[in-house]
Structure 1
Amino acid sequence: MSGTSMRRLDDWFASRGWEAFDFQRRVWQALAEGRSGLLHATTGAGKTYAVWLGALQAFAMAPASKAKPPPLTVLWLTPMRALAADTLRALQHALDALQPDWSAGARSGDTSPAERSAQDRRLPTVLVTTPESLSLQLSRADASEVLGTLRLVVVDEWHELMGNKRGVQVQLALARLRRWNAGLCIWGMSATLGNLQEAMRTLLARGEGVLVQGEVPKELRIDSLLPGRAERFPWGGHLGLTMLPQVVEEVAASASTLVFTNTRSQSEIWYQALLEARPEWAGQIALHHGSLDRAVRDWVELGLKSGALKAVVCTSSLDLGVDFLPVERVLQIGSPKGVARLLQRAGRSGHAPGRPSRITLVPTHSIEIVEGAAAREAVARGHIEERRSPAQPLDVLVQHLVTVALGGGFVPEDLYAEVRGTVAYAGLSRASWQWCLDFVAQGGPSLSAYPDYRRAVPDADGVWRVPDARLARRHRMNIGTIVSDASMAVQYLRGARIGSVEESFVARMKPGDCFLFGGRLLELVRVHDMTAWVRRASGRKPSVPRWNGGRMPLSSTLADAVVRQLALADAGLYDTPELQCVRPLLEIQQRWSALPTPGTLLAELLKTREGWHLFLYPFAGRLVHLGLASLVAWRVAQRQPRTFSIAVNDYGFELLCAAELDWPALLPSVLAPVDEAQLLREVLASLNASELARRRFREIARVSGLVFQGYPGERRSSRQLQASSSLFWEVFRKYDPANRLLQQAEEELLAQELEIGRLRAALARMASQRLVVQAPQRPTPFAFPLMVELFREKLSNESAAERIARMVAQLEQAAGGPVEAADPERVRRTLAFERPVEDGDAGTDGGARRGASRKRGKSPGRAGAA
């Protein structure tokens, strides 16, 4: 970049009272040289201006005429359509000063029909959009002409896309754009990635790039809001709303606070609790999650930007991108589950260079208190979770083939080379490629008689195109890889739309029932045309909506950090406030049994009136523990008939059996690692794999276009979609067993729901650890939460509460020291607080239960799931 160009950018910074950082200058120079790369810097450090100002300078051009701005030059991809408008506003500031001839616009699902129509005639010079909207642009017949003028693509928040199918969708789109412009510059931006070189190779399709790390001095404070007394025998969520007085005090002491929860259900509960505790805050605190109406979320975001709101209770809907300068601090309710998520949320406060960021963890479980010290140590060591691209998801590729067939058509040999240029499909075989072509041409051998599945066929010149305008419309309406259960609008009678809840929740209600939504107590009046019509209610006990979402397991990075903290406690080193607070619990655990350490694997054996219990603590996350527990039960059942009940949490798992087993002799063999093929066979055999894979297939069927989700205003219900996908599942299993989408369902089940990679690593680590087997006389503090999970499965909230309260009193008495009478009502409230998590929302401390039995010569059965 010339000295004049650099001075121009410096002058713009100076006009705002800023000074450019060295990393911003490095990005400007790289862009001026036409190089691609990845920029990694903390949230609020100035990543956007690093790439954007460099682009404005590097790709400046004179407009074709006074009346027309330059053609599409910069494409800015954001992972959330809610960020498109905010990103556009941020880009506009510099655009007006440095390139006033350029035009700018946003295109997403929120763009008005009039604006979309104008963009169809001519795209702006810079377009802010989402992966889904980019794929729609690729489906235009004139896509190569419209998008062929691009000089730069910026992928914002690359860490949010890289590890999922939306990231694969981006990889395929970038490969298509590079085909039309070999000199295309591509830049990614991220704040929380552990494997930067791999992330850059994935984005740039293994090409050469510049990795710029923005090391900006920024103070980050990670602390914990500690209870007055950490209970020595905890269960999932037992702290819960008992932390409300401390949270209220912290919110009152700050000008502006974000209160993050891990689930939308919990955000509703905490928002209502804050309002009940401080009614005078009405109008000063707000609620923000993805199911609220767009207008409501916009109002909340503007209130945060202007400093008008004192606090906002939110979910991951505010994790990314939006710049809220007034926010002073962040509170995280429950475990953040990972270091990257913690850093991302911490960056929402002090969102500017030089301003400190602060995040305070509010534990909902006594053992979670340790995570505060663990997270602080992991950040100090620079340990952040890695993300990797999914390998060869054929449902995404099938969808892309139809998109490209619409966007001007394709020649198979050329497109095969293009697709293999991506990291996701680098190993795509000829056989898999031919299967995909056959699938879009006729739906495979079992669907060849149906014209709806002839979605792309070759013409006389060998170019594959979509032969039917109706099929083209259907495909465009269903482009994308985001799959969720059907939702139902929530709207006041003769009033405004509030948001949406999942259809399955409303289906369980009848007129007159009340539920809590958007911070309001609502009464269901009627359901009509996929809308739940409601009115305000008062003084009646509400339900809390449940939204289905993946449970977030504790990451390996944070779990390892927790075990290191336990090793410090084992050595008598209680040097942090968190360890000091939880010291009574850890000392009882150590006295009655032992503490897990990086070099030891702790197993506990206990006899109760329920039977013989095995507790094992691998600290590998709930999904891995579910796979491990099922695998161990299956391996034992191979040798002798046994029935097991299973409970898991993020720290360990429990196997309960009616008959005594010689676990010290069995564990070394049943935990032994095996080769990958055998491990896959055993894991699938140990679970109800067919039903679990069928569930994965529902999503694959939607992404691949087998199941049509409907046109706007006539969306099909989740029950209809499930029925359709189940029908395809049965047809393929019977008439097309080699269908590769069936195989993909099994692979995704292993990789995503059971985390087979982490399970394999956990087995290898456990084999290297020294097995420590203890036989305590009563449940230890680590075992008690797992026992509670079984109570919650077997008993109602009321009877479980009485049982738990009685056990806590007995254990406290055995532990010595002052004993307070356990309150069954308080236990019942905390069980109810956690119940929405049990129904499928991403959660903090839920459990899972399976029954397993073995009869000689048969596979073990499985029944039930939390």
Structure 2
Amino acid sequence: MNRAELIKLAETWFAENDWKPFKFQKDTWKAYLQKKNGLLNAPTGSGKTYGLWVPIVLDYIKKNPDYKTKHKKGLKAIWITPLRALSVEIEQAAKRFAEGMGAHLSVGIRTGDTTQKERAAQKKSMPDLLITTPESLHLLLSSKDYKKMFKNLQAVVVDEWHELLGSKRGVQVELGLSRLKTVSKDLRIWGISATIGNLEQAREVLLGPNSQALKNSVMVKANLNKKIEVKSIIPDKMEKFPWRGHLGLHLIDEVVPIIKSSRTTLLFTNTRSQCEIWFQKLMAKYPEFAGEVAMHHGSINKETRLWVEQAIRNESLKAVVCTSSLDLGVDFAPVETIVQIGGPKGVARFLQRAGRSGHQPGKVSLIYFLPTHAIELIEASALQKAVVKKAVEDRVPYLMSYDVLVQYLNTLAVSDGFYPKEIFPEIASTFCFQGITEEEWLWILNFITKGSQSLQAYDEYKKVEIEEDGRFKINKRGVAMRHRLQIGTIVSDAMLSVKYMKGGYIGTIEEWFISKLNPGDVFTFAGRNLELVRIKNMQVLVKKSSKKTSKVPSWMGGRMTFSAQMSELLREEMYNAATLEERRETSRELISLKPIFERQQKESIIPKSDEFLIETFKTREGYHAIFYPFEGRFVHEALGSLLAYRISLLSPISFSIAFNDYGFELLSDQEIDMQQVLDNNLFTSEYLMDDLYKSLNATEMARRKFRDIAVVSGLVFTGYPNKLVKSKHLQSNSQLLFSVFRDYEDDNLLYQQAFRETFEHQLEEGRLRLSLERIAAQKIVWRKCEKPTPFSFPIITDRLREKLSSEKIEDRIKRMLEQLEK
């Protein structure tokens, strides 16, 4: 069959199902059948699975004309997905087309959820299409004779590539592909990505810079013009002094009519704890929603999550309060309405969520924006512009992740062993390791065989043996088993399972939250008030509680920051607010904030694009200095520490620092000589790295980062499935190693990596430098205020929240508001 006839087959099948293939799908089929590699840029829910599974089947039909009667066994395609939840959807779509074509192609799933029995069956006979995760792909590479398994592999599709790029799981994919390119001679590699700022770079990272695969590749874009409408829920009465304490709960009554008038609504919150609180409050105030409203986040047990996803599909639920656990293509029928509670912190995340409604092509996606405090309406206004401009973030790929490389080499050593001469060119061909030197390579080989120079005396770090023919191999069974248990790069805090005393599993919770509770304490989880009875064998045993007050779990993922794009859009909107009077066209949101802006202008100013605002005032807490870079909380955390350190060099003074996405505060019991700060040019980007090191206790941050590196590289062992090592032991084991390297081997590549990652990824040193350069070019406006201003109020109240319980903070803030309103 020629290409045109093959494509006709697929078109006929689409017509039988009353569908019509999109141009992007046909373009992808054609490119794939021309033996090209590529990146497909398509939004969630646009039919991207059929964009790539169809040509894989057509190619099989072309090579096997008697495909209807005979079946050629063996693995032909691998579909890599970042989320287990997506695998079922892909499986259904793939089976449907294969059966429709009469091709006897089997589809299998292999993730952390796959049972031992299924895995054993797959080992005997692999399915034709395997849907898997990056971790499970590496587990396959760690099995004996893996080359036989992958010999006839034709295609690898990496789904949601934008999610993997910019994480160490992306590096895992790069390394896995570098091996498969050598083992599988006739391989085509495709990625599927939603829109990101650096699509061209995303393709280069996937296929490898300067590679043959990249030269023979295409970019296919789905130009499905999606109309997105953003509607803000604006409170009737605008507080002049916005504060962040109440998570938007004062607008709960505004949300109920939206839920009632839609068939299905998803309410997206930014954190799992906010999700829990919203669900609780909604049920308490509107008990008639019982059975019609559910909750969904990553820590709730799998059965409940699947039940919720199914209930959304068949519309038996009215609404779901959820987190980003429903962000990614969990592919249910379109939901009618989306409500975003609080700023989503990034444009791409917002667009992805908006795309969940009106999921069919040509339909308008409607998303409501509910501000958790008034100033967030500026974000809503900025997001509307972003939607028009399609201003989306870049994902920054990792470079030189030695910990992932060490893990990968151990994986190859566990299976059939490897020869460094053969493997080095493959590794150097990846984007992550394109700059690796001969010297660094030798250090890594030395590390896996001898355990680096300061650990040479300890046998447990000598994992890999060099055999007579020069092959690097792991021969000890215990070492191999421990390595297989620890393949992966997601290092989260130890998760404990939450169970009732009488049995019954509720979900998982992070150890650091539970470690702060005592038996008898009540906490809210999965929508219930639970009393902690005791912790035993990695299990949190609880019983139901009728107490009204409870602690809400907070998860490590709760600290989100603005993306650089979001910060830039926000600054633009802020500058628009400064010239509100002169503008003819302006958004509803900015108009509604007029009372706040007027009050801000009265007490201080709203900075224009060429101005940088500093406010100082005194309260009974002490002397406050507030700075407004509008750069996101991570940059402000670093900027605050940097400035506090530089001021302390001028005069001995100590500060407490508070920050949010808009600015940061230095609070002290003595007055800061602000004129001295301005005269000494303390916002310079010179000596930035040096000062950051000293100001932030960068060693402490790197020490924490090193724990993850130690786990990924296998320096510390996280334990067996039923007997995990406690996180405090992991921390102390990795800290011990960190101190050894610091004192005796500071050229250790893993030790140096901890500092590099701290600066590049955690402190976003590049963004920090740019914001300092921007401030240096602006005119600094210092306002001595009588009392807190509307802009400073959310920052101050945020700091109080850390210290006071929720009842006390409400009272305290009410008193502060009364004084300020006078």
- For residues 406 and 125 of structure 1, do their structure 2 counterparts lie closer, same or farther at Cα, with a shift above 3 Å needed? same
Query: In 1, distance between residues paired with 2:817 and 2:764?
Result: 34
- TM-score, normalising length: structure 2: 0.95
Residue number in structure 2 paired with 1:372: 380
- Tell me if the contact between 1:218 and 1:356 (Cα under 8 Å) persists in the aligned partners: yes
Residue number in structure 1 paired with 2:157: 154
Q: Which amino acid aligns with 1:191?
A: A
Residue number in structure 2 paired with 1:623: 634
Q: Which of 652, 655, 660 in structure 2 is aligned with 1:649?
A: 660
Q: Which amino acid aligns with 2:691?
A: E
- For residues 767 and 510 of structure 1, do their structure 2 counterparts lie closer, same or farther at Cα, with a shift above 3 Å needed? closer
Query: In 2, distance between residues paired with 1:50 and 1:64?
Result: 21
State the shift of 1:268 in Å.
Answer: 1.0
* More moved, 70-79 vs 784-793: 784-793
Residue number in structure 1 paired with 2:751: 742
Secondary structure, aligned partner of 1:366: coil
**What do residues 312-347 of structure 1 show as CA deviations (whole Å, max 9, x unaligned)?**
111111111111214111111111000011011112
Query: In 1, distance between residues paired with 2:474 and 2:674?
Result: 61
Query: In 1, distance between residues paired with 2:60 and 2:365?
Result: 35
Q: Pairwise mapping of residues 798-813 of structure 1 onto structure 2 (< 5 A)?
A: 800-813=809-822
Q: Which of 528, 531, 537 in structure 1 is aligned with 2:536?
A: 528
Q: Which amino acid aligns with 1:628?
A: L
- Tell me if the contact between 1:323 and 1:351 (Cα under 8 Å) persists in the aligned partners: no
The reply on whether 1:126 has 2:129 as its aligned counterpart is: yes
* More moved, 680-689 vs 797-806: 797-806
- Tell me if the contact between 1:64 and 1:70 (Cα under 8 Å) persists in the aligned partners: no
Q: Which of 557, 566, 587 in structure 2 is aligned with 1:549?
A: 557
- Aligned residue pair count: 811
Q: Pairwise mapping of residues 726-741 of structure 1 onto structure 2 (< 5 A)?
A: 726-741=735-750
State the shift of 1:363 in Å.
Answer: 0.9
The reply on whether 1:179 has 2:214 as its aligned counterpart is: no
- For residues 478 and 495 of structure 1, do their structure 2 counterparts lie closer, same or farther at Cα, with a shift above 3 Å needed? same
Secondary structure, aligned partner of 1:638: helix
Query: In 1, distance between residues paired with 2:390 and 2:723?
Result: 49
- Tell me if the contact between 1:229 and 1:581 (Cα under 8 Å) persists in the aligned partners: no
* More moved, 172-181 vs 662-671: 662-671
Query: In 1, distance between residues paired with 2:544 and 2:654?
Result: 49
Query: In 2, distance between residues paired with 1:456 and 1:271?
Result: 51
Q: Pairwise mapping of residues 65-76 of structure 1 onto structure 2 (< 5 A)?
A: 69-76=72-79
Query: In 2, distance between residues paired with 1:67 and 1:299?
Result: 39
- Tell me if the contact between 1:46 and 1:352 (Cα under 8 Å) persists in the aligned partners: no
**What do residues 274-315 of structure 1 show as CA deviations (whole Å, max 9, x unaligned)?**
212222222221111111111111111111111111111111
State the shift of 1:493 in Å.
Answer: 3.3
Residue number in structure 2 paired with 1:3: 4
Q: Which amino acid aligns with 2:10?
A: L
- Tell me if the contact between 1:325 and 1:349 (Cα under 8 Å) persists in the aligned partners: no
Residue number in structure 2 paired with 1:390: 398
Residue number in structure 1 paired with 2:167: 164
* More moved, 266-275 vs 789-798: 789-798
State the shift of 1:623 in Å.
Answer: 0.6
Q: Which amino acid aligns with 2:633?
A: R
State the shift of 1:736 in Å.
Answer: 2.6
Residue number in structure 2 paired with 1:195: 198
Structure 1 residues not aligned, in runs of 5+? 814-866
Query: In 2, distance between residues paired with 1:422 and 1:630?
Result: 37
The reply on whether 1:592 has 2:603 as its aligned counterpart is: yes
State the shift of 1:688 in Å.
Answer: 1.7
Query: In 1, distance between residues paired with 2:89 and 2:286?
Result: 31
The reply on whether 1:289 has 2:292 as its aligned counterpart is: no
The reply on whether 1:353 has 2:361 as its aligned counterpart is: yes
The reply on whether 1:680 has 2:683 as its aligned counterpart is: no
- For residues 748 and 670 of structure 1, do their structure 2 counterparts lie closer, same or farther at Cα, with a shift above 3 Å needed? farther
- For residues 239 and 691 of structure 1, do their structure 2 counterparts lie closer, same or farther at Cα, with a shift above 3 Å needed? closer
Query: In 2, distance between residues paired with 1:543 and 1:694?
Result: 30
Residue number in structure 1 paired with 2:591: 580
Query: In 2, distance between residues paired with 1:634 and 1:799?
Result: 32
The reply on whether 1:143 has 2:151 as its aligned counterpart is: no
The reply on whether 1:696 has 2:696 as its aligned counterpart is: no
Q: Which amino acid aligns with 1:578?
A: E
Query: In 2, distance between residues paired with 1:682 and 1:429?
Result: 30
State the shift of 1:635 in Å.
Answer: 1.6
- For residues 650 and 389 of structure 1, do their structure 2 counterparts lie closer, same or farther at Cα, with a shift above 3 Å needed? same
Q: Pairwise mapping of residues 272-421 of structure 1 onto structure 2 (< 5 A)?
A: 272-421=280-429
State the shift of 1:391 in Å.
Answer: 1.1
The reply on whether 1:439 has 2:447 as its aligned counterpart is: yes
**What do residues 460-501 of structure 1 show as CA deviations (whole Å, max 9, x unaligned)?**
111111121110110000000001111111122333211111
**What do residues 150-205 of structure 1 show as CA deviations (whole Å, max 9, x unaligned)?**
11111111111100111111111111111113442111111131111111111111
- Tell me if the contact between 1:524 and 1:532 (Cα under 8 Å) persists in the aligned partners: yes
* More moved, 663-672 vs 532-541: 663-672
Residue number in structure 1 paired with 2:250: 242
Residue number in structure 2 paired with 1:479: 487
Secondary structure, aligned partner of 2:294: strand
Secondary structure, aligned partner of 2:317: coil
Secondary structure, aligned partner of 1:11: helix
**What do residues 736-771 of structure 1 show as CA deviations (whole Å, max 9, x unaligned)?**
332221111111111222111110111122222222
| C-alpha RMSD of the superposition | 2.0
Residue number in structure 1 paired with 2:27: 26
Q: Pairwise mapping of residues 37-116 of structure 1 onto structure 2 (< 5 A)?
A: 37-60=38-61, 61-62=63-64, 69-98=72-101, 100-116=103-119
- Tell me if the contact between 2:643 and 2:683 (Cα under 8 Å) persists in the aligned partners: no
Query: In 2, distance between residues paired with 1:673 and 1:511?
Result: 51
Secondary structure, aligned partner of 1:589: helix
Secondary structure, aligned partner of 1:317: helix
- For residues 221 and 158 of structure 1, do their structure 2 counterparts lie closer, same or farther at Cα, with a shift above 3 Å needed? same
- For residues 543 and 659 of structure 1, do their structure 2 counterparts lie closer, same or farther at Cα, with a shift above 3 Å needed? closer
State the shift of 1:67 in Å.
Answer: 7.5
Query: In 2, distance between residues paired with 1:398 and 1:693?
Result: 19
Residue number in structure 2 paired with 1:833: none
The reply on whether 1:707 has 2:739 as its aligned counterpart is: no
Query: In 2, distance between residues paired with 1:668 and 1:599?
Result: 19
State the shift of 1:72 in Å.
Answer: 0.9
- Tell me if the contact between 1:70 and 1:101 (Cα under 8 Å) persists in the aligned partners: no
Structure 2 residues not aligned, in runs of 5+? none
Residue number in structure 2 paired with 1:826: none
Secondary structure, aligned partner of 1:432: helix
- Tell me if the contact between 1:522 and 1:537 (Cα under 8 Å) persists in the aligned partners: yes
State the shift of 1:9 in Å.
Answer: 1.5
- For residues 99 and 195 of structure 1, do their structure 2 counterparts lie closer, same or farther at Cα, with a shift above 3 Å needed? farther
How many percent of aligned residue pairs carry the same amino acid? 45
State the shift of 1:653 in Å.
Answer: 0.9
Query: In 2, distance between residues paired with 1:286 and 1:435?
Result: 53
Query: In 2, distance between residues paired with 1:652 and 1:301?
Result: 39
Q: Which amino acid aligns with 1:344?
A: Q
- For residues 351 and 789 of structure 1, do their structure 2 counterparts lie closer, same or farther at Cα, with a shift above 3 Å needed? same
- For residues 671 and 122 of structure 1, do their structure 2 counterparts lie closer, same or farther at Cα, with a shift above 3 Å needed? farther
- Tell me if the contact between 1:707 and 1:721 (Cα under 8 Å) persists in the aligned partners: yes
Query: In 2, distance between residues paired with 1:121 and 1:378?
Result: 51
Secondary structure, aligned partner of 1:643: coil
State the shift of 1:258 in Å.
Answer: 0.9
- Tell me if the contact between 2:247 and 2:342 (Cα under 8 Å) persists in the aligned partners: no
State the shift of 1:261 in Å.
Answer: 1.0
Query: In 2, distance between residues paired with 1:799 and 1:219?
Result: 45
Residue number in structure 2 paired with 1:639: 650
- Tell me if the contact between 1:56 and 1:99 (Cα under 8 Å) persists in the aligned partners: no
